[in-house]
Amino acid sequence: MPPAPDMAEPVFFPRAEPLSLAAIAAIARVPLPAGVDGARTVTGAAPLETAGPSDLAYMDNAKYAEALAATRAGICLVSPRFADRVPDGCIALVTPKPYEAFAEALARLYPTALRPASVFGASGISPGSFVHPTARLEQGVTVDPGAVIGPFAEIGSGTIVASQAVVGPHVKVGRDCSIGSGVTLLNALVGNRVILHPGVRIGQDGFGFAMGPGGHRKVPQIGRVIIQDDVEVGANTTIDRGASRDTVIGEGTKIDNLVQIGHNVVIGRHCVIVAQVGISGSTTLEDFVVIGGQVGVIGHVRIGRGAQIAASSNVNSDVPAGARWGGTPAKPVRDWFRELTTLKNLASRRDLAKDDPTPSQE
């Protein structure tokens, strides 16, 4: 429903101070174009299609070549191959990594969008929160109304615990973290600058049962979850605690929404895991692995450093370092594409034979 006439348009992410052309050039690590005023500023950022003279935009994809040619943006970060398409009136900052520079400029323009903040606009320990007397919170921790901090928990300065989040007994959380609304954080050790978006569940039972004809006996899960520095975990993702070893999420890893990570999984540094991935227990991802959306990974396999798995694939064997795999079951991309092409050709031949009016020579 549109806002009533007397209602102000809400501002969810307030803009910081304007950003000068010289500052943006420094962010992009490129020199100022000749003859331009480095003091010229932008006050916002927008897509090419809607950007105005006071906005910053970027372009590095041929799909948006027409939008670039028609943009009214004041400044555009653009890759070298599209620089000649920037229209008059738009200042081009040519860089091999326009998106990376745009991301850093956005962080300067809209700093509150970098991580979830207090949903109550609070600072300090809010009335209506529940902090156990044995919990230890450093100076500068924010706890929203309705949040629960359990006995002997420890939380570092600058960390925000949003409304209805639960930090369980003996859990340790580092500094400058964001624990989003409705997060459940149990049996875990969390590093610095970690972001847990709303609804994340960490440290619950792994799925462990000794199955038998007389029933399935529950196996106690006595491990922990270790989350290292600068990890980000998307909304409604679940990370099970280890059975007897720890589940580990390595430094700088980014995990999307709705991901399931089973017990004893070890994920290396700076991995990227996209939405709706399921990783079964005791699997290892080495550093810099990228897994596309809706991938299923069987338990007890190893995916080597820098490997990439295409979306909707199913991994049921070890993947070598640096490999690019896809399909069901997953295999090297070249083999997968060859199989798809062969099947397509076979299907085309069958369709041609069905449509051929020439009578049989039998």
pLDDT for residue 296: 98
In this structure, CATH architecture of domain 19-113? 3-Layer(aba) Sandwich (3.40)
Q: Report the phi/psi class of residue 300: left, alpha or beta, with left for phi > 0 and alpha for psi in -120 to 50.
A: left
Sign of CA dihedral 63, 68, 70, 74: positive
Residues 6+ apart with CB under 8 A from 279: 259, 260, 261, 262, 265, 267, 273, 285, 291, 297
> Topology of domain 130-333, per CATH?
UDP N-Acetylglucosamine Acyltransferase; domain 1 (2.160.10)
- Residue 189 one-letter amino acid: L
| C-beta separation of 46 from 55 below 8 A | yes
pLDDT for residue 358: 60
Q: Which two tokens stand for residue 356?
A: 């051929």
The span from the CA of 268 to the CA of 273, in Å, is 11
State how beta strands 136-137 and 142-143 pair: unpaired
Give me the residue spans of the domains in the chain: 19-113, 130-333
Counting Cα atoms < 13 Å in the Cβ hemisphere of 245 gives: 11
| C-beta separation of 183 from 165 below 8 A | yes
| C-beta separation of 242 from 264 below 8 A | yes
The span from the CA of 136 to the CA of 155, in Å, is 7
Q: Which residue is associated with the tokens 């850093």?
A: 104
What residues does 303 pair with on adjacent strands?
Answer: 285, 319
pTM of the model: 0.90
pLDDT for residue 362: 45
The span from the CA of 187 to the CA of 208, in Å, is 17
User: How many Cβ atoms are within 10 Å of 115's Cβ, its own excluded?
Assistant: 17
For the annotated catalytic residues, the residue numbers are 263
Question: Which residue ranges in the chain fall short of pLDDT 50?
Answer: 362
Sign of CA dihedral 71, 77, 83, 89: positive
pLDDT for residue 186: 98
3-state secondary structure of 62: helix
pLDDT for residue 280: 98
Nearest of 346, 259, 336, 272 to residue 303 by alpha carbon: 272
| C-beta separation of 267 from 250 below 8 A | yes
- The yes-or-no answer to whether 19-113 and 130-333 have a common fold is no
The alpha carbon of residue 139 and the mean position of all alpha carbons in its chain are separated, in whole angstroms, by 29
The span from the CA of 164 to the CA of 118, in Å, is 11
pLDDT for residue 356: 62
